Structure 1
Amino acid sequence: MAIEVGTEAPDFELKDNHGRAVRLSGFRGEKNVLLFFYPFAFTGVCTGELRELRAHLPSFVNDDTQLLAVSADSVPTLRVFGDQEDLEFPLLSDFWPHGETSRAYGVFDEEKGCAVRGTFVVDKAGFVRWSVVNALPDARDTADYVKALEAL
């Protein structure tokens, strides 16, 4: 069960696709965060969703907002994937402890060993203000994220 809107977002620190540590609380007071969980790099629906984010990047990476994409892939896998797809936003590795951050947000599928398609808008104060969770095969609509961020 995904965490509820209105609750404080669980803090985490994960390595990005370049090996740098990224901490959610590091954005507190500075930026809203679009926290985007996806199952796996190099898969059809995930790649399509991330390309869609890339196509609308100014809406999600700007002075007011930071996009953080999280999967259970390893850092080296995310590095190759990010380079191949020209993704200029952090791809965070929830590889070890496997799925710990995804579990904290209630979007880890234990049977499949990956996150489901969960997206959370975390405001500058660190609270979840909007969320959507889709099943593994169901892509999300990028326009919904834009509306949620505009509502803050």
Structure 2
Amino acid sequence: MAIEVGTKAPEFELRNQHGETVRLADFRGEKNVVLLFYPFAFTGVCTGELCALRDELPKFVNDDVQLLAVSNDAPFSLRVFAEQEGLEYPLLSDFWPHGEVSRAYGVFDEEKGCAVRGTFVIDKEGVVRWTVENGLADARDLNDYVKALGSL
């Protein structure tokens, strides 16, 4: 079960597609965070969602907001995926321990071995202010993220 609105967002430290460490705490007091979990790189719906974010990037990466996309892929796969699709925002690897952060947020599907489509808007104080979870085959609506960010 996904963590609820009003809950303190679980801290994490993951590597991005360039092998750099990214921590949720890095943005505390500085930026709101759109934390997006997706099943796997190179899959149809995931690629579509992440490219849609790329195409609207100024709404999700700016002085006030940071987009962080998390999957259970290895960092090397994420690097190739980012290069292939022109994704210039952080793709974080929750590969090992496998799904640890996805589990902390309640969006890991044990049967499938991957994260489901869960999104969390986290404010500058580290509190979850909005969340949505979609099934593996169902893309999310980016306009919902924009509305949630506008309410902060």
1 CA distance for matches of 2:150 and 2:63?
14
Q: Could you list the per-position Cα deviations for residues 50-101 of structure 1 after superposition, in whole angstroms to 9, with x for gaps in the alignment?
A: 0110011000000000000000000000000000000010000000000000
RMSD across aligned positions (CA): 0.3
State the match for 1:3 in structure 2. 3
Tell me, in whole angstroms, the C-alpha distance in 2 between the residues paired with 1:134 and 1:107: 10
> Match of 1:84, as an amino acid?
Q
Corresponding residue for residue 36 of structure 1: 36
1:112-127 correspondence to structure 2 within 5 Å = 112-127=112-127
- C-alpha distance in structure 2 between counterparts of 1:150 and 1:41, whole Å: 29
How far 1:29 sits from its partner (Å)? Answer: 0.2
Structure 1 stretches of at least 4 aligned residues deviating more than 2 Å after TM superposition: none
Q: How does 1:98-137 map to 2 (within 5 A)?
A: 98-137=98-137
Work out the number of aligned pairs and report it. 152
Distance in 1 separating the partners of 2:150 and 2:56: 14
- Alignment correspondent of 1:27: 27
1: CA distance, partners of 2:7 / 2:128: 6
Q: Which amino acid aligns with 1:96?
A: W
TM-score, normalised to structure 2's length? Answer: 1.00
Q: CA deviation at 1:5?
A: 0.3
Matches within 5 A, 1:54-93: 54-93=54-93
Q: Who is 1:151 aligned against?
A: 151
Percent identity among equivalent residues?
75
Determine the C-alpha separation between the residues in 2 that align with 1:125 and 1:38. Answer: 24
Per-residue CA distance 1:10-30 (angstroms, 9 max, x = gap): 000000000000000110000
- Residue identity matched to 1:132: V
Name the counterpart of 2:52: 52
